[in-house]
């Protein structure tokens, strides 16, 4: 009997050894990592962002998702071999998040890194513990107001002009940066050209005090003092929030605190609010957008302080048909712009179809300018500026104004082109001709002149022709090239000019 027990023991030991060796050789994990794990990832500004790993294990393969700010992104690559976890996700088109870690005593030790953005922050190592599915759920929806038209606030009679921190600085914006940008906006001549707003985008927020008042994090020790500084330069200051509990960057949103936050902004001296849908999409349906934005529109107006209201919800629910009705002065019509030709041109050339919805005080917003950020040529940046001005779009520079080249400054401060954007008549542009890779646009001005833009979207320089009769321009006319700042000789029924690759020629035509 003892011999049999010894043989059974040896067989079991041998089987266990073989299973262990097989697991090591094949990468099959010996512990199950399936479940929800929470990581408390610190930001450089002293705040902390909770990130949830929702994992499912099948041998060495890990599937599931990463949940941040109630937004779930599928894991693109996941494995758990020899006690080592590897995950990658692509939450945005260029961003890659990587999680590398080990499991010990039911705790994860994870090194988190991010690549592909302008920031590429240093990797951080954090501990994670098991959590519950309930932690992934957003708060219950709060009641929304019955729909009605919010009165016009009388602001932004022409498209707002200024600067926004996100495109270049992302989360690295701070008090000192905003002050220096305000200084350069004045010293560079941008303020004289019409740029007035200095807007802080996401990542300024901390949490709330015991009374529920929003607080700024350590990057912004005194926003009221910062606002006073910007005002002393003859400029205006803007800030950012969301109708959801979290902003896109995972910071404190205005959910359930709309009136309280509006009063805080007013007390600080804020002149502009960008209100980004973000985590509100995990709580409300798209059809609730109008009511959610109306809630903040009314809150802003109740403060008695003139605050420009910028809706950022990416053109969903045909926002151009109701943006003005919630007190909005401008509304995003697209997803985020990128600093490259396909993104910028794809956005800009699609806007003609909805241009009729613009009117004084209420503007279509195809997103901020990328001019000077380095991803496009100067010709492409001139197309960028030309399209946005033809569309009467807000002109919010998104570069580091302190490091501008002469060419970038010249593009941003071209008074002739800016005058098209700021024309008080606010008449919409029209695409007159589309011929393969070339297009001709026109827009009537208040003084009776017509602006004509000849675009080449192709990969080689091309002749582009405009026929005056198609534009209703009959008889003697004269023109001015708005980029070369010189008169153009016009004779005959047509005008043909060589337009560079990804370039534009922009004319202002007068009769007589």
Domain boundary, last residue among 421, 454, 482: 421
Q: What number of residues does the chain have?
A: 512
Give residue 512's pLDDT: 73
Give residue 7's pLDDT: 43
Kindly state the helix (H) or strand (E) to which residue 444 belongs, with its residue range: strand 438-444
Give residue 28's pLDDT: 42
Report yes or no on 363 lying in a domain. Answer: yes
Q: Are residues 388 and 318 in the same domain?
A: yes
- pLDDT, tens digit, 9 for 90 and up, residues 276-289: 999 999 999 999 99
Confidence of residue 83 (pLDDT cuts 50, 70, 90): confident
Q: Are residues 292 and 403 in the same domain?
A: yes
Torsional sign, CA 332, 335, 336, 339: negative
Domain boundary, last residue among 112, 131, 150: 131
* Best CA proximity match to 236, nearest among 215, 207, 265: 265
The rounded distance, in Å, linking the Cα atoms of 491 and 482 is: 19
Q: Are residues 406 and 504 in the same domain?
A: no
The rounded distance, in Å, linking the Cα atoms of 278 and 249 is: 9
Give residue 104's pLDDT: 82
- pLDDT, tens digit, 9 for 90 and up, residues 158-207: 999 999 999 999 999 999 999 999 999 999 999 999 999 999 999 999 99
Residue 261 annotated to the active site: no
- pLDDT, tens digit, 9 for 90 and up, residues 57-79: 999 999 999 999 999 999 999 99
Give residue 447's pLDDT: 97
Report yes or no on 391 lying in a domain. Answer: yes
The strand pairing partners of 109, in sequence order, are 102, 127
Report yes or no on 13 lying in a domain. Answer: no
Report yes or no on 26 lying in a domain. Answer: no
Q: Are residues 73 and 188 in the same domain?
A: no
Q: What is the tally of structural domains in the chain?
A: 3
DSSP characters for 269-338? Answer: T--EEEEE-GGGGGTS-GGGHHHHHHHHHHHHHHT-S--EEEEESTTGGGGGGTGGGGT-SEEE-SS---
Residue 463's domain comprises 431-511
Report yes or no on 5 lying in a domain. Answer: no
Q: How far is CA 31 from CA 59, 329, 403, 453, in A?
A: 10, 56, 53, 65
Give residue 121's pLDDT: 77
Q: Which has the minimum average pLDDT: 3-7, 301-305, 493-497?
A: 3-7
Residue 127's CATH number: 2.40.128.30
Q: Are residues 220 and 287 in the same domain?
A: yes
Q: In the predicted model, what is the mean pLDDT of the chain?
A: 92
Tokens of 21: 């060796």
As a whole number, mean pLDDT of residues 443-457 equals 97
Report yes or no on 477 lying in a domain. Answer: yes
Residue 276 annotated to the active site: yes
Q: Is it the case that residue 10 has pLDDT exceeding 90?
A: no
Q: Are residues 338 and 468 in the same domain?
A: no
Q: Are residues 435 and 417 in the same domain?
A: no
Catalytic annotation, pick one of 174, 201, 276, 400: 276
Q: Are residues 437 and 373 in the same domain?
A: no
Q: Are residues 179 and 123 in the same domain?
A: no
Residue 346's CATH number: 3.20.20.70
Give residue 19's pLDDT: 36
Q: Which has the minimum average pLDDT: 423-427, 465-469, 472-476?
A: 472-476
Catalytic annotation, pick one of 50, 183, 288, 336: 336
Q: Are residues 296 and 372 in the same domain?
A: yes
3-state SS, residue 402: helix
pTM over 0.85: yes
Report yes or no on 28 lying in a domain. Answer: no
Query: 375, exposed or middle or buried, with CB in 10 Å at 0-12, 13-18, 19+?
Result: middle
The rounded distance, in Å, linking the Cα atoms of 503 and 381 is: 9
- pLDDT, tens digit, 9 for 90 and up, residues 229-264: 999 999 999 999 999 999 999 999 999 999 999 999
Report yes or no on 94 lying in a domain. Answer: yes
Q: Is it the case that residue 119 has pLDDT exceeding 90?
A: no
Q: Are residues 84 and 215 in the same domain?
A: no
Q: Are residues 414 and 439 in the same domain?
A: no
Domain boundary, last residue among 421, 440, 467: 421
Give residue 27's pLDDT: 42
Phi, psi (rounded to 5 degrees) for 254: -100, 10
Residue 496's CATH number: 2.60.40.1180
- pLDDT, tens digit, 9 for 90 and up, residues 476-510: 899 999 999 999 989 889 999 999 999 999 999 99
As a whole number, mean pLDDT of residues 43-54 equals 92
Q: Is it the case that residue 128 has pLDDT exceeding 60?
A: yes
């Amino acid at each position: 009997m003892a011999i049999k027990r010894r043989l059974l023991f040896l067989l079991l030991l041998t089987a266990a050894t073989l299973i262990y060796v097989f697991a090591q050789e094949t990468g099959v994990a010996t512990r199950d990592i399936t479940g929800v794990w929470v990581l408390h990832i610190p930001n450089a500004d002293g705040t902390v962002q909770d990130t949830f790993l929702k994992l499912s294990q099948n041998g060495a393969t890990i599937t599931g998702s990463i949940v941040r700010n109630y937004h779930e992104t599928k894991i693109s690559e996941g494995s758990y071999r020899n006690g080592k976890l590897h995950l990658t996700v692509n939450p945005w088109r260029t961003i890659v998040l990587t999680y590398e870690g080990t499991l010990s005593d039911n705790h994860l030790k994870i090194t988190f890194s991010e690549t592909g953005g302008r920031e590429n922050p240093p990797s951080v190592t954090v501990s994670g513990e098991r959590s519950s599915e309930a932690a992934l759920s957003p708060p219950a929806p709060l009641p929304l107001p019955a729909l009605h038209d919010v009165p016009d606030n009388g602001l932004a009679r022409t498209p707002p002009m200024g600067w926004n921190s996100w495109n270049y600085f992302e989360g690295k914006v701070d008090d000192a940066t905003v002050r220096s940008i305000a200084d350069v906006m004045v010293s560079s001549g941008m303020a004289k050209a019409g740029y007035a707003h200095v807007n802080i985008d996401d990542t300024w927020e901390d949490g709330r005090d015991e009374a529920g008042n929003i607080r700024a994090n350590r990057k912004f020790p005194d926003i009221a003092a910062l606002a006073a500084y910007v005002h002393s330069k003859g400029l205006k200051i803007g800030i950012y929030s969301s109708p959801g509990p979290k902003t896109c960057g995972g910071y404190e949103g205005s959910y359930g605190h709309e009136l309280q936050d509006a009063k805080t902004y007013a007390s600080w001296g804020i002149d502009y609010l960008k209100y980004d849908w973000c985590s509100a999409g995990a709580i409300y349906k798209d059809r609730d957008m109008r009511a959610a934005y109306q809630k903040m529109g009314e809150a802003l107006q109740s403060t008695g302080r003139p605050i420009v209201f910028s809706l950022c919800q990416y053109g969903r629910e045909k926002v151009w048909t109701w943006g003005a009705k919630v007190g909005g002065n401008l509304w995003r019509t697209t997803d985020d712009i990128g600093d490259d030709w396909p993104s910028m041109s794809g956005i800009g050339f699609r806007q003609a179809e909805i241009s009729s919805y613009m009117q004084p005080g209420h503007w279509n917003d195809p997103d901020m300018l990328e001019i000077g950020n380095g991803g496009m040529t100067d010709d492409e940046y001139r197309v960028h500026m030309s399209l946005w001005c033809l569309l009467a779009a807000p002109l919010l520079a998104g570069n580091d104004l302190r490091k501008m080249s002469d060419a970038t400054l010249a593009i941003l401060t071209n008074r002739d082109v800016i005058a098209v954007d700021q024309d008080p008549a606010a008449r919409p542009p029209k695409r007159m001709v589309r011929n393969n890779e070339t297009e001709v646009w026109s827009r009537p001005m208040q003084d009776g002149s017509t602006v004509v833009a000849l675009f080449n979207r192709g990969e080689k320089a091309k002749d582009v022709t405009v026929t005056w009769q198609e534009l209703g321009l009959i008889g003697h006319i004269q023109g001015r090239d708005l980029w070369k700042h010189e008169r153009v000789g016009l004779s005959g029924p047509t005008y043909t000019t060589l337009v560079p690759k990804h370039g534009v020629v922009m004319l202002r035509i007068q009769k007589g």
